[in-house]
Amino acid sequence: MPATSNAILEEFRRAGALLEGHFILSSGLHSPKYLQCALVLQHPPLAARLCADLARKFKGAKVDAVVGPALGAVIVAYELARAMGVRGIFTERQDGRMCLRRGFALSSGERVVLCEDVVTTGGSLLEVMKIVREAGAEPVAVATLIDRSAGRDPGFGVPLVSLVKLDIPTYEPGARTCPLCREALPAVKPGSRPGAGGKERSP
């Protein structure tokens, strides 16, 4: 049976993947909480189970491929595609531009589900969406383990399907807009983009 939202969040807590502090997200926004999905996805049986639960939400839908941005969505794309019985591919940045590499390609008319581990602003997925459409393929939905967009419309133009919805506040950086910066708490970049992983002084 598919797990409930509370059960899924408990899996994240047990894996040490639900962090609290002062975090700089991939979008550049600041947040008091961060979901480090890699700590959950490092366990293959758990990754397979979560992505199988997500795949069930597409039961009966015609899907030809799943694509997500590296690095965070590589495992999600693979396991989601495996559960759906379709191809799973990923995009990468080359010279700062998101693109398909390694011989990956999409064909005109293919129905594609885009995926991520966590969606906050959806910036990377919008870049992937552009690649999908330029190939003549058809984006049918965005799938994510955790939706923390808090009701904001990322502008996908297709349904956003998730296992869990979380309303976690985000702030523009700076003491005037971010209470964590006002408290001079050290800001941490735990994400997977180049340059992430270290600490910075609060702006």
pLDDT per residue as tens digits for the range 24-52: 988 899 999 888 999 999 999 999 999 99
Work out the angle between the directed axes of helices 5-14 and 44-56 (0-180°, nearest 10): 160
Q: What is the largest CA-CA distance in the chain?
A: 52
Q: What is the CATH number of the domain that holds 107?
A: 3.40.50.2020
Residue type for 58, please? Answer: F
148/36 Cα distance (integer angstroms):
13
Per the structure, the count of domains in the chain is 1
Q: Each residue of 132-189: pLDDT tens digit?
A: 999 999 999 999 999 988 778 889 999 999 999 988 889 999 999 999 999 999 999 9
The whole-angstrom separation of Cα 187 and Cα 164 is 26
What pTM was estimated for this model as a whole?
0.82
- Confidence band for 1, pLDDT divided at 50, 70 and 90: low
Q: Which domain holds residue 168?
A: 5-200
**Element holding 74 (H helix, E strand):** helix 74-84
